[in-house]
Protein backbone atom coordinates (compact mmCIF):
# COMPACT_ATOMS: atom_id res chain seq x y z
CA UNK A 1 0.00 0.00 0.00
CA UNK A 2 1.27 3.44 -0.74
CA UNK A 3 1.86 6.05 1.92
CA UNK A 4 -0.92 8.32 0.56
CA UNK A 5 -3.54 5.57 0.82
CA UNK A 6 -2.40 4.72 4.39
CA UNK A 7 -2.65 8.38 5.44
CA UNK A 8 -6.17 8.72 3.96
CA UNK A 9 -7.24 5.53 5.74
CA UNK A 10 -5.88 6.82 9.05
CA UNK A 11 -7.56 10.22 8.55
CA UNK A 12 -10.90 8.60 7.72
CA UNK A 13 -10.59 6.38 10.80
CA UNK A 14 -9.94 9.37 13.11
CA UNK A 15 -12.79 11.40 11.58
CA UNK A 16 -15.15 8.46 12.18
CA UNK A 17 -13.98 8.07 15.81
CA UNK A 18 -14.34 11.82 16.51
CA UNK A 19 -17.82 11.87 14.94
CA UNK A 20 -18.96 8.93 17.07
CA UNK A 21 -17.49 10.55 20.21
CA UNK A 22 -19.23 13.89 19.56
CA UNK A 23 -22.56 12.21 18.84
CA UNK A 24 -22.32 10.24 22.08
CA UNK A 25 -21.50 13.36 24.10
CA UNK A 26 -24.38 15.34 22.58
CA UNK A 27 -26.80 12.52 23.36
CA UNK A 28 -25.77 12.31 27.02
CA UNK A 29 -26.11 16.09 27.46
CA UNK A 30 -29.67 15.97 26.17
CA UNK A 31 -30.59 13.11 28.52
CA UNK A 32 -29.05 14.95 31.51
CA UNK A 33 -30.82 18.19 30.61
CA UNK A 34 -34.16 16.38 30.58
CA UNK A 35 -33.51 14.94 34.05
CA UNK A 36 -32.85 18.36 35.58
CA UNK A 37 -35.91 19.99 34.00
CA UNK A 38 -38.43 17.47 35.33
CA UNK A 39 -38.04 16.03 38.80
CA UNK A 40 -41.39 15.07 40.33
CA UNK A 41 -44.37 13.65 38.48
CA UNK A 42 -43.98 15.89 35.45
CA UNK A 43 -43.68 19.19 37.36
CA UNK A 44 -41.14 21.45 35.64
CA UNK A 45 -38.42 22.05 38.21
CA UNK A 46 -35.46 24.39 37.84
CA UNK A 47 -32.22 23.83 39.74
CA UNK A 48 -31.00 27.04 41.37
CA UNK A 49 -27.29 27.86 41.64
CA UNK A 50 -26.07 29.22 44.98
CA UNK A 51 -22.97 30.15 46.92
CA UNK A 52 -22.42 28.98 50.48
CA UNK A 53 -21.58 32.03 52.60
CA UNK A 54 -18.56 31.63 54.88
CA UNK A 55 -17.11 33.49 57.86
CA UNK A 56 -20.26 34.64 59.60
CA UNK A 57 -21.65 33.75 63.03
CA UNK A 58 -25.10 33.71 64.58
CA UNK A 59 -25.36 36.55 67.08
CA UNK A 60 -26.02 35.62 70.69
CA UNK A 61 -29.05 37.94 70.63
CA UNK A 62 -30.77 35.61 68.15
CA UNK A 63 -33.09 33.18 69.89
CA UNK A 64 -35.66 30.77 68.58
CA UNK A 65 -36.15 29.94 64.92
CA UNK A 66 -36.44 31.91 61.72
CA UNK A 67 -40.03 32.60 60.75
CA UNK A 68 -38.92 32.58 57.11
CA UNK A 69 -35.61 31.13 55.85
CA UNK A 70 -35.41 33.83 53.14
CA UNK A 71 -33.55 37.01 54.14
CA UNK A 72 -33.83 39.86 51.64
CA UNK A 73 -32.41 42.90 53.43
CA UNK A 74 -29.06 43.76 54.92
CA UNK A 75 -30.74 45.10 58.08
CA UNK A 76 -32.55 41.80 58.72
CA UNK A 77 -29.35 39.84 57.98
CA UNK A 78 -27.26 42.01 60.31
CA UNK A 79 -29.80 41.55 63.13
CA UNK A 80 -29.12 37.79 63.03
CA UNK A 81 -25.53 37.39 61.76
CA UNK A 82 -22.19 39.04 62.43
CA UNK A 83 -18.98 38.91 60.42
CA UNK A 84 -16.30 36.47 61.59
CA UNK A 85 -13.21 37.66 59.74
CA UNK A 86 -10.16 35.46 60.16
CA UNK A 87 -6.57 35.76 59.02
CA UNK A 88 -5.46 34.35 55.69
CA UNK A 89 -6.63 34.56 52.10
CA UNK A 90 -10.04 32.95 52.75
CA UNK A 91 -10.70 34.85 55.95
CA UNK A 92 -13.08 37.50 54.66
CA UNK A 93 -16.82 36.92 54.88
CA UNK A 94 -18.52 36.04 51.60
CA UNK A 95 -19.83 39.29 50.08
CA UNK A 96 -23.60 39.58 49.80
CA UNK A 97 -25.21 42.22 47.56
CA UNK A 98 -28.80 42.49 48.80
CA UNK A 99 -29.71 44.68 45.80
CA UNK A 100 -29.17 41.66 43.53
CA UNK A 101 -29.13 38.67 45.88
CA UNK A 102 -30.96 37.17 48.82
CA UNK A 103 -29.94 34.67 51.50
CA UNK A 104 -31.52 31.40 52.55
CA UNK A 105 -30.61 30.53 56.14
CA UNK A 106 -30.89 27.34 58.16
CA UNK A 107 -30.25 27.78 61.87
CA UNK A 108 -30.82 24.70 64.05
CA UNK A 109 -31.05 24.88 67.83
CA UNK A 110 -27.90 25.56 69.87
CA UNK A 111 -26.07 22.40 70.81
CA UNK A 112 -23.19 21.03 72.86
CA UNK A 113 -22.35 18.74 69.91
CA UNK A 114 -20.79 19.63 66.59
CA UNK A 115 -23.45 20.11 63.93
CA UNK A 116 -22.75 19.90 60.22
CA UNK A 117 -25.34 21.20 57.75
CA UNK A 118 -25.13 20.65 54.00
CA UNK A 119 -27.33 21.81 51.13
CA UNK A 120 -28.45 18.76 49.15
CA UNK A 121 -30.70 20.48 46.59
CA UNK A 122 -32.07 23.92 45.82
CA UNK A 123 -34.79 23.98 43.20
CA UNK A 124 -37.78 26.02 42.08
CA UNK A 125 -41.17 24.76 40.96
CA UNK A 126 -43.58 27.51 40.02
CA UNK A 127 -43.19 30.22 42.66
CA UNK A 128 -41.87 27.87 45.34
CA UNK A 129 -38.17 27.47 46.12
CA UNK A 130 -37.33 24.32 48.06
CA UNK A 131 -34.07 23.81 49.93
CA UNK A 132 -33.38 20.21 50.89
CA UNK A 133 -30.62 19.95 53.46
CA UNK A 134 -28.93 17.38 55.68
CA UNK A 135 -27.98 17.89 59.30
CA UNK A 136 -25.41 15.64 60.97
CA UNK A 137 -24.78 15.66 64.70
CA UNK A 138 -21.18 14.98 65.69
CA UNK A 139 -19.10 14.71 68.83
CA UNK A 140 -19.87 16.38 72.15
CA UNK A 141 -18.10 19.64 72.93
CA UNK A 142 -17.33 21.29 76.22
CA UNK A 143 -19.33 24.34 75.14
CA UNK A 144 -22.59 25.30 73.43
CA UNK A 145 -22.39 26.48 69.82
CA UNK A 146 -24.77 27.70 67.14
CA UNK A 147 -24.39 26.18 63.68
CA UNK A 148 -25.86 27.63 60.50
CA UNK A 149 -26.03 27.27 56.74
CA UNK A 150 -26.21 30.36 54.53
CA UNK A 151 -26.90 30.18 50.80
CA UNK A 152 -26.49 33.28 48.67
CA UNK A 153 -28.88 33.23 45.68
CA UNK A 154 -29.34 35.57 42.72
CA UNK A 155 -32.56 37.62 43.00
CA UNK A 156 -33.74 36.47 39.57
CA UNK A 157 -34.74 33.21 41.33
CA UNK A 158 -37.26 34.99 43.53
CA UNK A 159 -40.05 32.99 45.14
CA UNK A 160 -41.46 31.67 48.41
CA UNK A 161 -38.76 29.67 50.21
CA UNK A 162 -39.34 26.49 52.14
CA UNK A 163 -36.68 24.30 53.71
CA UNK A 164 -36.87 20.58 54.31
CA UNK A 165 -34.49 18.43 56.31
CA UNK A 166 -33.90 15.15 54.46
CA UNK A 167 -32.18 13.10 57.15
CB distance 38 to 45 below 8 Å:
yes
**CA 115 – CA 146 distance, rounded (Å):** 8
CA distance 17 to 146: 56
The pTM (predicted TM-score) of the whole model is 0.72
Helix (H, G, I), strand (E, B) or coil at 32: helix
pLDDT per residue rounded down to tens, the chain (167 residues): 565 555 555 555 444 444 444 344 444 333 333 333 334 455 689 999 999 999 999 999 998 788 899 999 999 999 999 999 888 888 999 999 999 999 999 999 999 999 999 999 999 999 999 999 999 999 999 999 999 999 999 999 999 999 999 99
Amino acid sequence: MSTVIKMKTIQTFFVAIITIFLAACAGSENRNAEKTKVKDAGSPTENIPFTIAQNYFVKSTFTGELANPKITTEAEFNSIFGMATTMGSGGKPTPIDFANQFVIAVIPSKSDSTISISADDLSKTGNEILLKYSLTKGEKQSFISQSYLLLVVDSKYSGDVKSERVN
